[in-house]
Amino acid sequence: MVSSGASAPVDADLDEFNHKGNTATGPQTSHVEVRGSGLSVAAEKVSNDGYNWRKYGQKLVKGSEFPRSYYKCTYPNCEVKKLFERSHDGQITEIIYKGTHDHPKPQPSNRYSVGAVMSMQGERSDKAFLAGRDGNTSQMLLEFSLLPFYYYLLQ
Partner DNA sequence: AGCCTTTGACCAGCG
Partner DNA sequence: TCGCTGGTCAAAGGC
> Which residue ranges make up the site for DNA (CB under 7 A)?
52-63, 68-71, 74, 81, 83
Q: How far is the CB of 79 from DNA (least distance, A)?
A: 9
Q: How far apart are CA 142 and CA 34, in angstroms?
A: 9
Give 78 or 114: the residue with its C-beta nearer to DNA.
78
Q: How far is the CB of 72 from DNA (least distance, A)?
A: 7
Residues facing residue 82 across a β-bridge: 71, 97
Asked whether the beta carbons of 92 and 86 are under 8 A apart, the reply is yes
Give 26 or 57: the residue with its C-beta nearer to DNA.
57
Q: How far is the CB of 134 from DNA (least distance, A)?
A: 28
Give one DSSP letter per residue of 19-50, joined into a string. Answer: HHT-SSSSPPEEEE---S---HHHHHHHHTSS
Q: How far apart are CA 129 and CA 8, in angstroms?
A: 9
Report phi then psi at 88, rounded to 5: -70, -20
Q: How far is the CB of 66 from DNA (least distance, A)?
A: 12
Give 58 or 110: the residue with its C-beta nearer to DNA.
58
Give 63 or 135: the residue with its C-beta nearer to DNA.
63
Q: How far apart are CA 20 and CA 16, in angstroms?
A: 7
Give 24 or 60: the residue with its C-beta nearer to DNA.
60
Residues facing residue 86 across a β-bridge: 92
Q: How far is the CB of 95 from DNA (least distance, A)?
A: 13
